[in-house]
Amino acid sequence: MSFGFSVGDIILVSQLAYKLYCNLTTGRRSAAKDLKELEDVLFGLRCALDHLSKAAESILSTAPDSQDANAVEVRHKLDAMVNSCGATLLELDSVTKKYREAAESAQNDVLGDDAEGVSAVAVSTRPIKKRSLAQFKENVRVNWMKIRWDVERKSLSEFRAKLQSHTDAITIILNTLLWSATHRIEVDGKVNAEKVHKLQDHALQSNTTLLQLVQEIRTLLLPRGDAPSPPAPEAPASMPSTQQPETMHNRRFTLAMTGGRRPHHRFSHSISPHYNSFALMATSPTPDTCIPDISASFGPLPIPLNDSTTDRAADTHRVLTRKPPLELPAAIAELNIKRQSSGSKVFNEYLQKHLLPSPPSKPQFLTLEVPTLLQLRDGLNYIFHPLPGTTARQATLDRDERKKEVLRWTHGLEHLLDCWIAEPISVPLDAKGEKQAKVNEIVELLVDMNGSIERCDSKTRRLFYQSTEQAEIDGVLQKLQTVTKSVRVMKEVEEFEDVRDEWKDSQNGG
């Protein structure tokens, strides 16, 4: 079988890895240590192939004749990697195929012999000998298959090493793709920023007035000695000679900065007939003074008022212009009071008639509080302690109360999972570490539960299994696997289900 590089082929290899993983997972409790390790490696390889199938779509979108030589090189490397991984999985499938077929045929023979033994109970007087023969035949087949597998067991570690190397290679490729995508985004961002700057420069150069305004603002913001002042723009021929750039504090202002208007001054009304003499301000001998001495041309100016004089005048004006409060006649004031009371009464009647009554508040004992994982672990220690040995009536009451406690514990675990599911998708970057911590606590909780089940007596175990079955714990555990997506959680749940099934079989057989 030849694996060409495509998303479909990667999915086929992933399905083959999952098939081998399921075959090795069957009968996991009685499997050897090497089989369990191979099972974990196959599960990790399947997860890596799933991620690779998603990343391969973006790689295949690049044309083969693209100028990016790195993309073409990655395509060739992925092609070789998928071919090697598929060949290893096919070889492992062919090696284990004979063992699986022999094991299935041996199991079918044992089931057929058991059926013949059951039918012989009614017609034969020697069912015990036939059952013993079937058991002997089963033991011979199983032991023979174990011997054959032990002879070929040396290849098991080799397959595990090969599959682990494939998983590591796929992980490295995915990390490389992530880094290259990040670098490409940074390069594209720099290119786009340069394009934006070029567009801004082009826009400024195309608009002469805007460019002149930006240059003048830049000159004003910079210190005087840092940069030379730009040359003043030439006035059009039609503009009068009086519209020359004005200066203030040794800085030049043009019509582009003043919007085509002359600056406003406190004494502009007194010099409006002599507007041409405004150029005297540009030749002021004092650079820090905005108002030149023009008394020689216009006569003495009025003395300006200081701040204290202005404030006293404003206060005097407010006192003189303040109006006394308006007093209504007694009859009108009484009529206003009656109208206000009547309107308030009509408004309250309208509210009582049209508005819905407020719902009653929820009692506190009906509110289900979400327990923490620490509280759930403490609850395990409590519900698995043995019941006190008292009278028969008291024992019945204690047993019923313990069933209710187990039900509340199971419902609390389900309610906690529902709260986790309801959390928003957009979370901070460190939420991944918080999720891993929660998964570790869940694993510890399941380990404590399985350990408590193994250590408790038969009565407590029966009560726990009956109560959890009533609370539908299988659905809760399935939801737990869906939320956490952890292999460790899945193994602990399988451990719980296997122990429970074995206990039920022993109880039914007894």
Every domain of the chain and the residues it spans: 7-199, 207-231+245-261, 369-509
Of residues 172 and 275, the one with the higher pLDDT is 172
Amino acid 147: pLDDT = 58
pLDDT at 347 over 70: yes
pLDDT at 270 over 50: no
Amino acid 280: pLDDT = 41
Mean pLDDT along residues 144-157? 61
Q: pTM to 2 decimals?
A: 0.33
Half-sphere exposure of 220 toward its Cβ, with a 13 Å CA cutoff?
A: 14
pLDDT in tens, 475-509: 999 988 888 888 888 999 999 999 998 888 888 87
Helix/strand/coil (H/E/C) assignment for every residue in 28-89: HHHCCHHHHHHHHHHHHHHHHHHHHHHHHHHHHCCCCCCCCHHHHHHHHHHHHHHHHHHHHH
Mean pLDDT along residues 233-251? 46
Of residues 1 and 254, the one with the higher pLDDT is 254
pLDDT at 451 over 70: yes
Mean pLDDT along residues 214-226? 72
Sign of CA dihedral 273, 275, 276, 281: positive
Q: How confident is the model at residue 323 (pLDDT cuts 50, 70, 90)?
A: low
Q: Are 237 and 220 in contact, with CB atoms under 8 Å apart?
A: no
- Give helix then strand counts, H and E, for the chain: 17, 2
What 8-state DSSP symbol labels residue 225? Answer: T
Q: How confident is the model at residue 294 (pLDDT cuts 50, 70, 90)?
A: very low
Question: In 176-250, at which residue ranges do the beta strands (DSSP E only) sit?
Answer: 246-248
Q: How confident is the model at residue 424 (pLDDT cuts 50, 70, 90)?
A: low
What 8-state DSSP symbol labels residue 222? Answer: S
